[in-house]
Chain A
Amino acid sequence: MPTLTIDGRTVEVAAGTNLIEAGLKVGVQIPHYCYHPRLSVVGQCRMCMVEIEGMGKLQAACSTQVMKDGMVVRTNSTSADEAQRAIMEFLLINHPLDCPICDQAGECGLQDYSYKHGQSFSRFRFDEKRTYPEKERIPLGPTVMLNMNRCIQCTRCVRFTEEIAKTSELGFFERGAHAEIGTFPGKPLDNPLSTCVVDICPVGALTSTRFRFAERVWYLDKKPSICTGCDAGCNITLEHKAGSIKRYKPRQNPEVNDFWMCDYGRSTHERYRDLPRLAFPQIRRNQALQATGWKEAIDHLAHNLRSRRTEGAIAFLGSGFLSTEEAFLLTKLATAVDSPHRSIWVDSGPTRHIPNLQGGITGHDAAPNRRGAELAGLIPAPGALASEDLLLEGAAAQCGALFVADSDFGRAANDAKVVERLREARFLAVMGWADTLLARAADVILPVATHAERAGTFVNSAGRIQRFERAFPAPPQVRPAVEVLADLLSRFDTKWSTVTPATVFDLMAEEVGAFSGLRYREIAAEGTRLSGLSDGRPPAATDSAAARPAGPGT
């Protein structure tokens, strides 16, 4: 492997590595706009000019590959610095400088590099800048808005649609100072990954219709999380202000979603805003649901789980939205009341494909954690009541008590017919965050934290276990499901009094083969591939997505 020196720091890199990547290895950031590690190198912005010993002219770092030993690169020599200043000046002379009303402000490449490479005055003394009249607000498609005046023609977006999305909706039109990006007539930018062009746009030319004017980015708190839109398990940064989620952005994980995520995934936080929330525990008394305290609600549920055994089966119905730890505790609860009736319901979603360097990751379910829940034990034993029996066949009538551990497990939760079928159980308990038709039919309601308000793990479609963190606390009367389930379990077995996702996971790892040897805190940042699992479908559900019964209410 060749060795080179960048700004006096020596580094060994694989032959063919470009200078921007080589610099990053030793902490030298070479400014750039058009370069993106996953897009073809075009050398257009000319911001990354560096001096290389023995070469007469400055070279673009992005298009210079390290091929042999001994290259000496200076990113901050006088000539390189002058070139970078010149490019900053060129980029800004015609830029509108409308930062106060620009969504990108605060995370803008022009702003960032202006501090380091720019100057505080303008030599461009003309009354009018070059503008693109009538092109300040061009909807390129349903998700992306273009302001051509802010564009710096780096063509990252064009290359994204050509090389990553492979849909080629965007093109580079006109020439010279009038060069512009846009769509072809009658072909809007509407591919499933379209909002990624907003992420990779280094300036405010492309903004997300979903996020436009929603919040100044410096007011956002950012937490690493996992998208719950499907079981691809895209890594995201959850950005919120005081508990109100403003957007999801992809968080790079080369093993999963790389730099990308789909538009649907980005929209999934809107459910927390749009759906009514369960705010406090409730118990049905005299046909009506009444607010109550947590202790009373859990005692009431524990009592019914115990006493209703004589009236019929005690069934437990989870969903693919449960974290692996929650699913494990639900399994434990079923064991505590000697019930074999434990299963999950997962809507099958449209197939969602996110490209990465290994070819991509595909999600099939409309929930993030079918595999984790099944590995944790939510699989009906032969002959036991399965979720299909309960939701589709009316098997709930045989139940003395039915505990649905997710008030929003899919379309069925708001399907009157399904809810009616589940209501056939003598006693119906619902735990969850959303105030659905199903929750309102329950005898006891346990409000729990949303995805953003709790921590845990999901196992994605490729068998990779990934951790997500709590972004902000749950409302006062709402508790994380892990706590609630442990509380409930403690009514049967005192060892369960206080738990955290970490302790539950570590216990589970001792019992469940698929997780053996793992510890919660040791799950890698990019997730850990569970060994011994087949890629794609989980072992318990060998039938294809098409063979599974379609969800009710479809």
Chain B
Amino acid sequence: MTGERVLMRNVGRPEARTVRGYREGGGYDALAKALRLQPEEVIEEVKRSGLRGRGGAGFPCGSKWSFVPRQSPKPKYIVCNADESEPGTFKDRLLMEHDPHQLIEGCIIAGWAVGANTTYIYIRGEYTKATRILEDAVRDAYDSGILGSNVMSSGFRHDIIVHRGAGAYICGEETGMLESLEGKRGQPRVKPPFPALVGAFGCPTVINNVETLCCATHILLRGADWFKAIGTDERNTGPKLYAISGHVERPGTYEYPLGVTFQQLLDGCGGMYRGRELKAFIPGGASAPIMLAADREIRMDFDTLAKAGSMLGSAAVIVMDETTCMVRAISRLARFFAHESCGQCTPCREGTHWMEILLHRIESGHGSEADLDLLARVVPNVGGISLCALGDAAQGPVRSLVQKFGDEIRANIRAGRYPMPLQRHFDQGAAA
């Protein structure tokens, strides 16, 4: 761990789950400060900080807030996207389980900034522990006058409703989430109109990731200039949580300044598992194209990874060592996307399924070179023309597999065998 822990300052302080314990650590000072500012000033501060959305798309948070009309005959809503379900991603769970008030504070600040009196926290259904902690924290906040009709005696009203999802990845897509929140089948809406104008229940809505809202808390407390000073450049600012999994010695959630290199991340979690060789890594969750071991010095920020043909996404780093069968790894991801496709739009519904069965055929040793060529031709059709980003997400890893590991797969297809033997690394590790 290098540098100061900002977002994770209360990890390991169980007392921070109560309003009292949270305030002892300087909690809710940011909210008090925000409430003394005009909403426009709050938005301006967030804009100046260069905070980009931590959910995956990296959209500038301040701009998103400013798109919501100031004057609206309809109520406005904040929806916190806590439906963290991208394979490999587990950073928001940590924030909610260890520091629920940091999120609540961020929600109220966002509400004050855009003039919304209600926040819905749409939390992944499987996060039962986080839900319980969050609900307790919300109740505590109401009892302490942090939430309710008179937030910190300012006269501002704000309510938070914790809403549990029912286990669909697609409900993490912002408009799919809104549909689900409204009690409908969770499937993305056609955009425009964008949620800033027509969102939850047809009203202007801001949708932010958990980590984004937590960052907003610190920007208000310590200023945009402090936030901007952290990170690679003015487009990639602030502290960032990296969820590291796979073949490393100590997988987990780590906080670094945005733009740390992959090698630093790797070193931070104790290096490769049992000292094996790095083969590849996925830098930003299941939908990010694979990077090779040669890319290990790359800066893990939005723009550098985008330039390299991948993406930071949710900063869920999946590390794969030399024993990994890439076909199986990506085949598993393809199965995930085929399973989670909502099925409404043609390229994603049919394309993810086609990719899944093609990869399965190759993986099971029955593939042909034609299958690989076909994969190369079909995959691009899945992305770009789908209704929501799931189609794009699904084709990212598969496309990079074909591009970067084509020779490996071809050799195995020619040999007519299973691409790589099944290895039970972790069993071996446990036995050792």
Choose one: A46, A91, A174, A176; the contact of B386 (CB below 8 Å).
A46
Q: Tell me if A41 counts as interface (CB < 8 A to partner B).
A: yes
A91 neighbours in B (Cβ, 8 Å): 346, 350
Contact (Cβ within 8 A) B338 A49: no
Chain A residue with the shortest CB-CB distance to B344: A44
Q: Which residues of B, 317-357, contact A by the 8 Å Cβ criterion? A: 338-347, 349-354, 357
Q: Tell me if B378 counts as interface (CB < 8 A to partner A).
A: yes
- Interface-centre pick from B340, B351, B352, B386 (highest chain A CB count, 10 A): B351
User: What is the bound-complex CA distance between A255 and B374, given in angstroms?
Assistant: 51
Q: Tell me if B292 counts as interface (CB < 8 A to partner A).
A: no
Contact (Cβ within 8 A) B341 A86: no
Q: Tell me if B185 counts as interface (CB < 8 A to partner A).
A: yes
Contact (Cβ within 8 A) A177 B341: yes
A174 neighbours in B (Cβ, 8 Å): 343
Contact (Cβ within 8 A) A46 B346: yes
- Interface-centre pick from A124, A125, A130, A175 (highest chain B CB count, 10 A): A175
Q: Which residues of A, 73-102, contact B by the 8 Å Cβ criterion? A: 82-83, 86-87, 89-91, 93-94
User: What is the bound-complex CA distance between A171 and B370, given in angstroms?
Assistant: 39
Contact (Cβ within 8 A) A47 B346: yes
A153-B343, A172-B185 known; A177 vs B384 contact (CB < 8 Å): no
Per-position contact with A for B370-396: 1 when CB-CB < 8 Å, else 0?
A: 100010011001001111000000000
Question: Closest CB-CB distance, B185 to chain A, in whole Å?
Answer: 6
Question: Closest CB-CB distance, A90 to chain B, in whole Å?
Answer: 4
Choose one: B346, B353, B354; the contact of A45 (CB below 8 Å).
B346
Contact (Cβ within 8 A) B384 A57: yes
- Interface-centre pick from A44, A82, A94, A123 (highest chain B CB count, 10 A): A44
Per-position contact with B for A42-63: 1 when CB-CB < 8 Å, else 0?
A: 1111110100000001101001
Contact (Cβ within 8 A) B344 A153: yes
Chain B residue with the shortest CB-CB distance to A128: B357
With an 8 Å Cβ cutoff, the count of chain A residues facing the other chain is 37
Q: Tell me if A237 counts as interface (CB < 8 A to partner B).
A: no
Contact (Cβ within 8 A) B350 A94: yes
A58-B385, A83-B385, A172-B185 known; A45 vs B352 contact (CB < 8 Å): no
Question: Closest CB-CB distance, B14 to chain A, in whole Å?
Answer: 39
Per-position contact with B for A207-229: 1 when CB-CB < 8 Å, else 0?
A: 00000000000000000000000
Contact (Cβ within 8 A) A175 B339: yes
Q: Tell me if A126 counts as interface (CB < 8 A to partner B).
A: yes
User: What is the bound-complex CA distance between A153 and B385, given in angstroms?
Assistant: 17
Chain B residue with the shortest CB-CB distance to A56: B384
- Interface-centre pick from A46, A82, A177 (highest chain B CB count, 10 A): A177
B415 neighbours in A (Cβ, 8 Å): none
Question: Closest CB-CB distance, A385 to chain B, in whole Å?
Answer: 61
Q: Tell me if B190 counts as interface (CB < 8 A to partner A).
A: yes
Contact (Cβ within 8 A) B339 A176: yes
Q: Tell me if A193 counts as interface (CB < 8 A to partner B).
A: no
Q: Tell me if A315 counts as interface (CB < 8 A to partner B).
A: no
Q: Tell me if A334 counts as interface (CB < 8 A to partner B).
A: no
Contact (Cβ within 8 A) A179 B190: no
B185 neighbours in A (Cβ, 8 Å): 171-172
B385 neighbours in A (Cβ, 8 Å): 46, 49, 57-58, 83, 86-87
Q: Which residues of B, 178-235, contact A by the 8 Å Cβ criterion? A: 185, 187, 190, 192
Question: Closest CB-CB distance, A49 to chain B, in whole Å?
Answer: 5
Question: Closest CB-CB distance, B364 to chain A, in whole Å?
Answer: 13
Q: Tell me if A152 counts as interface (CB < 8 A to partner B).
A: yes
A271 neighbours in B (Cβ, 8 Å): none
Q: Tell me if A369 counts as interface (CB < 8 A to partner B).
A: no
Contact (Cβ within 8 A) A44 B353: no
User: What is the bound-complex CA distance between A177 and B377, given in angstroms?
Assistant: 20
A176-B341, A177-B338 known; A153 vs B190 contact (CB < 8 Å): no
Question: Closest CB-CB distance, A128 to chain B, in whole Å?
Answer: 10
User: What is the bound-complex CA distance between A330 and B357, given in angstroms?
Assistant: 73
Contact (Cβ within 8 A) A179 B374: no
Per-position contact with B for A439-458: 1 when CB-CB < 8 Å, else 0?
A: 00000000000000000000
Choose one: B343, B351, B384; the contact of A175 (CB below 8 Å).
B343
Contact (Cβ within 8 A) B344 A42: yes
User: What is the bound-complex CA distance between A45 and B385, given in angstroms?
Assistant: 10
A43-B190, A175-B341, A177-B341 known; A87 vs B384 contact (CB < 8 Å): no
Choose one: B342, B352, B374, B384; the contact of A123 (CB below 8 Å).
B374
B377 neighbours in A (Cβ, 8 Å): 123
Contact (Cβ within 8 A) A41 B354: no
Chain A residue with the shortest CB-CB distance to B185: A172
A94 neighbours in B (Cβ, 8 Å): 350, 353
A178 neighbours in B (Cβ, 8 Å): 343
Q: Which residues of B, 29-68, contact A by the 8 Å Cβ criterion? A: none
Choose one: A89, A153, A177; the contact of B352 (CB below 8 Å).
A177
User: What is the bound-complex CA distance between A96 and B387, given in angstroms?
Assistant: 25
Chain B residue with the shortest CB-CB distance to A82: B381
A57-B384, A58-B385 known; A176 vs B354 contact (CB < 8 Å): no
Contact (Cβ within 8 A) A175 B381: no
Q: Which 3 A-B pairs have the closest CB atoms?
A: A179-B343, A177-B353, A86-B381
Q: A87-B385, A153-B344, A175-B339 are in contact. List 8 more A-B contacts (CB 8 A).
A: A43-B387, A46-B387, A83-B385, A130-B353, A176-B339, A176-B340, A179-B342, A179-B343
- The chain B residues found within 8 Å of chain A, CB to CB, are 168, 170, 185, 187, 190, 192, 338-347, 349-354, 357, 370, 374, 377-378, 381, 384-387
**Can you report 23 residue pairs joining A to B where beta carbons are below 8 Å apart?**
A43-B190, A43-B345, A44-B346, A44-B387, A45-B345, A57-B384, A60-B190, A60-B387, A82-B381, A83-B385, A87-B347, A90-B350, A90-B351, A91-B350, A130-B353, A153-B346, A175-B339, A175-B341, A176-B339, A176-B340, A176-B342, A176-B352, A176-B353
